[in-house]
Amino acid sequence: MNNTIYIFAWGNNPQRAKLKGRACKILEQDTPNSSEVVFVDTGEHEIVSHRALRPIRCRDCGDPLIEIDFNRAYCLRLCDNFHCRLYGEPQGLRERSKQEGKAFRQRRQMKIVMRFTAGQGIKEVNPDRQQANIRRKARPGYRPWLEKKKENYHKLRDLGYSCKDAINNSSKKRMIELGVGVN
């Protein structure tokens, strides 16, 4: 499914007037001029003219915003253009319907099960990777290195960096490049 969010814009008859102003996503494009869409508030499927759909656009670059899962109550709208100044920053959110919230919770639980188990509830452990982790943690310089990474992370968070940026820039080399004091 396409994650670009559209607003249905036509309202020139009673059927279209009910749909006007509602957010939807395109499921599939049937013909060049018609698309099957799902309205995000109720989950109902309709076949509508592609010309009746208007994308919600980024404030900075004008590209269509995409919608990503945030939590079971809300979806975030972000710009997906890598060269945009507002790339990856929230530019709005949408409240999920109860049905969507349940589906999000089920998807999330399934991801967790598939990530940590073999799919049948049996935890899958790679013995080679497990041994490599044990050897890595047993090295003499591992503990001081880990403590320094944590300290650098907290310095960057105090300076206002996001969690993701603080994690990515907590190495000694990146701290020197950023000009943050490293001892």
pLDDT tens digits, 37-95 = 988 877 888 999 989 999 888 888 988 888 887 777 888 888 888 888 888 888 888 78
Are 73 and 101 a contacting pair, CB within 8 Å?
A: yes
What's the burial of 163, exposed, middle or buried (CB within 10 Å: 0-12/13-18/19+)?
Answer: exposed
pLDDT above 80 for 141: yes
- Please write the tens of the pLDDT for every residue from 7-29: 899 988 898 999 898 888 888 88
Predicted local distance difference test score (pLDDT) of residue 48: 92
Question: pTM score, two decimals?
Answer: 0.51
- Domains recognised in the chain with CATH numbers: 6-55 (2.30.30), 127-178 (no CATH)
pLDDT above 80 for 152: yes
For residue 66, the tally of other CB atoms under 10 A from its CB is 20
Q: How is residue 183 written in tokens?
A: 């001892």
Predicted local distance difference test score (pLDDT) of residue 111: 67
Of the segments 7-11, 93-97, 110-114, 175-179, which one has the largest average pLDDT value?
A: 7-11
Which range (96-100, 108-112, 126-130, 144-148) has the least confidence?
108-112
Average model confidence (pLDDT) across the chain: 82
SS (H, E, C) 91-159: EEEEECCHHHHHHHHHHHHHHHHHHHECCCCCECCCHHHHHHHHHHHHCCCHHHHHHHHHHHHHHHHHC
For residue 144, the tally of other CB atoms under 10 A from its CB is 9
Backbone angles phi, psi at 40, to 5 degrees: -75, -25
Predicted local distance difference test score (pLDDT) of residue 41: 78
Average the pLDDT over 162-183 and give the result.
81
pLDDT level of residue 140 (50, 70, 90 thresholds) = confident
Are 17 and 11 a contacting pair, CB within 8 Å?
A: yes
